[in-house]
Structure 1
Amino acid sequence: MIDTIIFDFGGVLVDWNPRYVYRDYFQDDEKMEWFLANICTDEWNIEQDRGRSLAEATELLVAQHPDWEKEIRMYYGQWETMMKDAIHETVDILFELKKKYKMYGLTNWSAETFPIALDRFEFFQVFDGILVSGKERLIKPDEKIFERMMEKFNLKPENCLFIDDNLKNVEASRQFGIETIHFINPEDLKAKLDEFGML
């Protein structure tokens, strides 16, 4: 019944990690991890994925932590460095699947930074449609973003397979009625797709 595959991007097709900026800067992994856990946190970053502007987010955090202003401004000032490369083995799987299936993207990503990725990686041209959380002002795992995905591209949950590396998103997708693969690495993804008889 599956005729459509929906890919998450970060951690699945794109190797993005703020540590690619801060590891060289701090030269101390313990201090870097403290900074990412307490200053530029995942919770802060996800609000940009929900639609908050980068400028507002930066100024808000600088006001809260003025002693860390330089490091905070590095987050979006050097954001492109965080986007290291495509995960080429997954991209190869993507192109193989495209021969037989419709292909869509569903990503938690800032509307301001996503165009940078779109310009950098040619594989995005494979997709029949992409829904970006920052544009929709909805984020996974909220079921409303899955509803928006279905409505926007005229899809049916029972005909879709969703691939995501975030377990909360995977569980939400399954509850919504979409078959899902929890992405661990490209080798594991290939094995699971083989089990489905999709490669």
Structure 2
Amino acid sequence: MSEINDKPDLGSIRNLIFDFGNVLLNIDPKRSSEAFRRLGVKDETDFFGSRSSLELMVKFERGQVSPEEFRNTVLRSLQPGVTPEQVDTAWNALLLDFPPRRVELLKRLRNDYRLYLLSNSNHIHYVSYTAGFLRNYGFPLAELFDKMWFSQQIGLSKPDPEIFRYVLNEGWLHPEETLFIDDTLVHVEAARKTGIRAWHLLPGTDVCDLF
């Protein structure tokens, strides 16, 4: 499917579904990779690059692997002496800031739209960024949205079109009235397959620019 990335006409849109990482929350996966290397990777060519490790992360995102199982598997790839707490710290290193301008944007948009969050995530990251948001802004992240869907909680993940059908059904949303915003093109294309209008947030573009 070729990409169509003109800014969408918001005239008929009633529902906005936001991706999280690099749309609202800034992230940098390289920081986690570097943090794990500092902890001492047994085989750097295999660490989080093999098919089995990628499958582990997908299962973790879908809630099919517990945090304990995830930590223990990662620990087996690291030098002896690393603690589960250090694994969490390295894993969360990719989580950066949630800029105030985006918080203010969401507050303003709530006057005109129903707002939703749909994220491929995992329990360890979820605990970290929800606590960080509450600490920085003094209210829960959930207050910005009518509903939040996280992959590890519903057992589905993008780009499986089924996750978008799940959201449409549970939120009682009409796809033609719904705009999905994501920084990953395959996720955008999957949403379009279900009839949802979608916008690909290109690198260097801020979601605030759309509005």
Under a length normalisation based on structure 2, what TM-score does the superposition of the two structures give? 0.73
Query: Which runs of structure 2 are paired with 1:157-196 in the superposition (5 Å)?
Result: 157-185=175-203, 187=205, 189-191=207-209, 193=210
Between stretches 49-58 and 81-90, larger displacement belongs to 81-90
Runs of 4+ in 1 over 6 A off after TM superposition: 31-34
**Paired residue total:** 189
Following TM superposition, by how much is the alpha carbon of 1:24 offset from its aligned partner in structure 2, in angstroms?
5.7
Following TM superposition, by how much is the alpha carbon of 1:154 offset from its aligned partner in structure 2, in angstroms?
1.4
Q: 1:23 to 1:78 in 2, by over 3 A?
A: closer
Q: Deviations over 1:12-70 (max 9, x none)?
A: 1112334334436647xxx989744359955432221111212112323444x465884
Of Structure 1 and Structure 2, which has the larger fraction of its residues in strand?
1
Of Structure 1 and Structure 2, which has the larger fraction of its residues in helix?
1
Q: Deviations over 1:64-99 (max 9, x none)?
A: x46588499744244443322114444443333222
- Asked if 1:12 is matched to 2:4, the reply is no
1 CA distance for matches of 2:105 and 2:46?
A: 36
Q: Deviations over 1:93-152 (max 9, x none)?
A: 333322211100111111454133223224542101001110111111112211211122
User: Does structure 1 retain, via aligned residues, the 8 Å contact 2:23–2:207?
Assistant: no
- Asked if 1:109 is matched to 2:135, the reply is no
The aligned counterpart of 1:60 is 73
Q: Deviations over 1:132-184 (max 9, x none)?
A: 11011111111221121112221121111001111111110011111101112
Q: List runs of 5+ in structure 1 lacking aligned partners.
A: 194-198
Question: Which residue identity is paired with 2:110?
Answer: K
Let me know the Cα RMSD of the aligned residues. Answer: 3.3
Q: List runs of 5+ in structure 2 lacking aligned partners.
A: 1-11, 134-138
- Asked if 1:139 is matched to 2:157, the reply is yes
2 CA distance for matches of 1:98 and 1:66?
A: 45
